[in-house]
Structure 1
């Protein structure tokens, strides 16, 4: 029935025993067909029901794969026109050859990058989180614990009721309402749906804040060490970033004031400093709020994994202590649910709601509408809360397994202490090895052994003061896989 579309010859064979979700197999097979040129730009795909029948899988499995490919820019959907291969592929694929399968790639001169492009490429090569998989890559939630069948059902319902509507500039009202309800009840962030803005990621969130609240050339305070992507987003918006060294109790407002007395914006991770995992103490929190009020400035609270706390008494979000309307709360669903979801949110102080909403309404900037309705249902029906409860227990066990394996096999090489929350651990060289430990070389050695780790030193803006170490993401690593990976890592480092 679907041979005229050319899909049957693609041999999209699925292997239920492969240990990988079926929707991921469908997605990768279709993506490979697009990149190889077997599916030309503009080619129409069969209806999801027919494709599911051809592949022998549930329609929800196909819908989830198609939704991810649409979100990534490989496919497009339009009412009355079905699902088609995008006429223009994502930017990072434009330079790849497209043609008949097996055709040799034409030779090309190496691209000449701008100075900014060269810096970006150098930063990526320096060991920042990339697209790694397996143990112990960062930013990988437990896909083996994600309720894919439930998610597929919700996506299917959204597709059936017109998920391809034009995106609202502030986000799907249903999702904004669901996020506000969750934050008020579950995180102590009292807010209404009017204060919630849906974005496509923390970087877009920061850039919006920077462009709407500060003028080019003004200073923004960031944590040192800290995630370079946040500083890059601020600089892309024309701001000057000022790194503030983080102490044992987090961001120090007094030190920040001395470094940049004119600054009016600070970006912090109070619940779980990224990447060190420390928590901002109560005195530093109050001092930071006082600084923002005195400077007529704002604090962006990046609560990227504040849901995950395994020990100790969690402190309330900075937003809950704010009485002057100076905290902009930022959160993400990508790290908690699915990386491909690419949905984050901001909670604005009351005074910013009306002007920011007006500015965004005319800016034409909006997060993809795909997935927002399904996510709203996911929250409203209680699946999100259940997923958090389930993964808290799972991640606590996986962190304990990694700490125990490190004690057995990395003794004399690295210290890997537990943390009270988060999704990764920080491995430091033992004192007698610290002076000669090169974390970027260690990353390369582990990669050759099939283990993905991330160097700590590139997270320091001041590389001369950088402290070496390795970041080990454990959330996406089943307990049974932890010890074999640590053994390979130990052998690689000892060699």
Structure 2
């Protein structure tokens, strides 16, 4: 227990020196002690009152730190006994091991070519990139439960327009020239500051590379980290964009099952232990919405460190968590520097902005810059400057707070409206995200349901599209964040008619 007190004391000192919230400094110090083994599994922590007295912190501060640690699975409370470091942390996952040499790449897969496309081009053409068939280029009639769409009707258009005009007036000609392939420097600095506070990732602006959306970031990861035929883990079911990026790089895709704890690392090692890369969405798994458990996170990081492999962390929907504080990012707890972090402004601002970013370990930065120079050189600089202003002037933080409240209300409304359909459609509420999974009866064909509703102007997306090998239960995805109350009612009425 004395080690816990010493760790807490350092947290108090760090809080005063770094001007960070006291609870967060204490949380970081205790988490670090757990991950390094200083606070071993089963260690009993001092009572919150005792720790508060001995460190000079308020009891609420200590309780807030404990609450965050318990929410992420680092500690557990035992009724009538106290608070302990969780037993689920095996010692081998807490120790840094020397990674062996990477094994030779596997032979590239065979494929049937066509007269028009290369073998890789044919595979890419068959890899569906995004779930937007039949709606691109036209507005659906009535409602559309489009996934991945925030509440655009509540976007601060006036503020954005003023910032855009002001930026053009002040520095238009300068921003119309070629720029750094890493991105507009003030935006990279703003991202580094935001990601440190929001996701626990401490990085330099030099590690941030601004991309044209998260899809380009995934493409860059696949391009600079994989040779043709290299094995890559992908979640099953998983994000179609990640699948397309790996196909584009001629990777050998290894579908790994997903359950309520996220990607099954043990199953991945059984399928292909020497995979070169794993593409994951740990904060809010797409499409099922689960959060990867701490045990799985540590196991994945340990696997990557031992095998000289890479983890591409697509932090999908991490900003939109409605219960409790967000879990720390994989990159924040990675002691091996094997994680590449991918973020985007498409879901938090608007999709057509097409701005994303990569946070790379220092040794990979030059590779990402080379990839950028070989494609579009850099993302749109004026838009980068406006986003930087939006963040620096505090609009971004306020917008996120408003969106969290509005999106949560819309999720609750969708669940209420769908209650009469419970015999045919079972909605599973989620702690975060922008869509819900609606489970259908086992005899239903989710693709047929999606086609039938689309003919009525309502867009839902079949879950089965996201599976490669795992057994798929029929379900549809319903995006609620970008759907107004009136359109939501119309959409549910249409779904009721189709399903009955």
Work out whether the TM-score is over 0.5.
yes
Do 1:170 and 1:197's aligned partners in 2 also have CA atoms closer than 8 Å? yes
1:387 paired residue number: 399
Verify: 1:412 aligned to 2:423, yes or no: yes
Do 1:397 and 1:479's aligned partners in 2 also have CA atoms closer than 8 Å? no
User: Partners of 1:411 and 1:218 in 2: how far apart?
Assistant: 44
The alpha carbon displacement at 1:172 in A equals: 0.9
Task: Give the count of matched residue pairs.
Answer: 378
Do 2:129 and 2:241's aligned partners in 1 also have CA atoms closer than 8 Å? no
Verify: 1:472 aligned to 2:481, yes or no: no
| 165, 168, 172: which one aligns with 1:159 | 168
Which segment drifts farther, 330-339 or 206-215?
Answer: 206-215
The alpha carbon displacement at 1:327 in A equals: 1.0
1:460 paired residue number: 467
Cα deviation per residue 1:18-59 (whole Å; 9 max; x = unaligned)? xxxxxxxxxxxxxxxxxxxxxxxxxxxxxxxxxxxxxxxxxx
2:433 paired residue number: 422
User: Partners of 1:137 and 1:201 in 2: how far apart?
Assistant: 18
1:13 paired residue number: none
Verify: 1:487 aligned to 2:499, yes or no: no
User: Partners of 1:113 and 1:406 in 2: how far apart?
Assistant: 47
User: Partners of 1:128 and 1:469 in 2: how far apart?
Assistant: 17
Matches within 5 A, 1:208-287: 208-287=220-299
User: Partners of 1:126 and 1:422 in 2: how far apart?
Assistant: 17
Which segment drifts farther, 303-312 or 356-365?
Answer: 356-365
The alpha carbon displacement at 1:240 in A equals: 1.5
Cα deviation per residue 1:137-183 (whole Å; 9 max; x = unaligned)? 11221111101111111111222222322242111111111111111
User: Partners of 1:340 and 1:311 in 2: how far apart?
Assistant: 29
Matches within 5 A, 1:372-383: 372-383=384-395
Pick closer, same or farther for the CA change 1:151–1:113 going to 2, 3 Å: farther
The alpha carbon displacement at 1:450 in A equals: 1.9
- Alpha-carbon RMSD: 2.4
Matches within 5 A, 1:30-179: 114=117, 131=136, 134-160=143-169, 161-162=171-172, 163-179=175-191
Do 2:315 and 2:341's aligned partners in 1 also have CA atoms closer than 8 Å? yes
User: Partners of 1:443 and 1:127 in 2: how far apart?
Assistant: 11
User: Partners of 2:423 and 2:371 in 1: how far apart?
Assistant: 56
| 192, 198, 203: which one aligns with 1:191 | 203
Do 1:222 and 1:243's aligned partners in 2 also have CA atoms closer than 8 Å? yes
The alpha carbon displacement at 1:403 in A equals: 0.5
2:447 paired residue number: 440
Report the secondary structure of 1:450's partner residue.
coil
Pick closer, same or farther for the CA change 1:486–1:359 going to 2, 3 Å: closer
Do 1:127 and 1:440's aligned partners in 2 also have CA atoms closer than 8 Å? no
2:47 paired residue number: none
Do 1:170 and 1:361's aligned partners in 2 also have CA atoms closer than 8 Å? no
Do 1:127 and 1:443's aligned partners in 2 also have CA atoms closer than 8 Å? no
The alpha carbon displacement at 1:190 in A equals: 1.3
Cα deviation per residue 1:308-367 (whole Å; 9 max; x = unaligned)? 011245321111111121111101101111111001000012332355446655776322
User: Partners of 1:319 and 1:340 in 2: how far apart?
Assistant: 27
Cα deviation per residue 1:426-448 (whole Å; 9 max; x = unaligned)? 0001xxx31x2011110111112
1:347 paired residue number: 359
Question: Given the two structures, how large is their TM-score scaled by the length of structure 1?
Answer: 0.72
Do 1:270 and 1:302's aligned partners in 2 also have CA atoms closer than 8 Å? yes
Cα deviation per residue 1:438-495 (whole Å; 9 max; x = unaligned)? 1111011111222111111010113x8332210000011123432232112111221x
The alpha carbon displacement at 1:370 in A equals: 3.7
User: Partners of 1:302 and 1:442 in 2: how far apart?
Assistant: 29
Do 1:267 and 1:299's aligned partners in 2 also have CA atoms closer than 8 Å? yes
Do 2:439 and 2:475's aligned partners in 1 also have CA atoms closer than 8 Å? yes
Report the secondary structure of 2:482's partner residue.
coil
1:96 paired residue number: none
Pick closer, same or farther for the CA change 1:204–1:413 going to 2, 3 Å: same
Report the secondary structure of 1:165's partner residue.
coil
The alpha carbon displacement at 1:257 in A equals: 1.3
Report the secondary structure of 1:328's partner residue.
strand
User: Partners of 2:336 and 2:267 in 1: how far apart?
Assistant: 22
Verify: 1:365 aligned to 2:371, yes or no: no
Question: Given the two structures, how large is their TM-score scaled by the length of structure 2?
Answer: 0.71
User: Partners of 1:347 and 1:126 in 2: how far apart?
Assistant: 24
Report the secondary structure of 2:364's partner residue.
helix
User: Partners of 1:242 and 1:392 in 2: how far apart?
Assistant: 35
Do 1:127 and 1:455's aligned partners in 2 also have CA atoms closer than 8 Å? no
Report the secondary structure of 2:348's partner residue.
coil
